[in-house]
Structure 1
Amino acid sequence: MRVLKSFDIFLSDPAFSAIEFNPKIYPIALQNGFFDDEGNLLYDSIQIGLGLQVQAAVIGAEKGNSYIKSCLDYYIGKNFILADGLFNNKIILPDIMAFYARNFGFKYINREQKLLDIKLYASEVFAPHPKLVTSKSYAIHCCTGTWRKKHGLESL
């Protein structure tokens, strides 16, 4: 993470994060019928690779937050190392968080959403990639090594 501005503005929310949006992948998922016109997921299971999830790199919450508890409950009874010795990493936290956010009013649309017990900001607020930073960005999620010099940013 590269923090650009103070997070104090978010501290009045019971929980906060942002949409994680991939402008190249999301239109494909939309075209393939994963969502309806209102942004509802049309499947009753966690889907991966949709191009729109809940940002897991930046999240804050008050103690006892019901949304956070629902996400953590996903892990009850699950092992991180499978019987064959491989890591259980096919479903990642942003997909889990988006799936459980549906119970709080979440729509698979890249816009600010005030849900029951969490406020999700548009993806630019906690930008998922340095190329998607705007004047409204508070932080950059430097995923996939985007902080390295080959990507045009100084080492953090």
Structure 2
Amino acid sequence: MSNCKVIALTNQKGGVGKTTTAVNLGVALAQQGKKVLLIDADAQANLTMSLGYSRPDDLPDTLSTIMRDIIDDKPVDVFKSILHHDEGVDLLPSNIELSGLEVRLINAISRESVLKTCINEVKKNYDTVLVDCMPSLGMLTINALAAADSVVIPTQPHYLSAKGLEL
């Protein structure tokens, strides 16, 4: 059994530092010798772009590819989608295709555990998995929360950010 910790970074409010926290926490853990996987669970692909992949829509295999295969009950090779970064972290990237996947999740069997199935395929190889969520409480965020051992909710000392934390 793996000792891997899965942490979801989420807030319904955008622009509060979810992606920035994911990148910096991931790199800091990697600098301490931890094996870290960052998962970009946002169709805007800000985490993917933050790690230098400026054209995420050109990537052949992404989180949406893997999750679609799981939904369709096809053989899954999560490792084919993982990118290795010079900062010592691995990345399961995202792109705009993820927005279409959210619609498919609504009618999927075990729809809240598709991401957990994906993570379970690779977590034995990591100490920490950080899931950067989109600013919403949709099916992808529900999947991240179902897969997570713990949650970090970045917020700012502003009314709307605190309101997102409350929700």
TM-score calculated relative to the size of structure 2:
0.28
Higher relative contact order (Cα pairs below 8 Å, separated by 6+ residues): 2
Which structure has the larger Rg over C-alpha atoms?
1
Structure with greater helix percent: 2
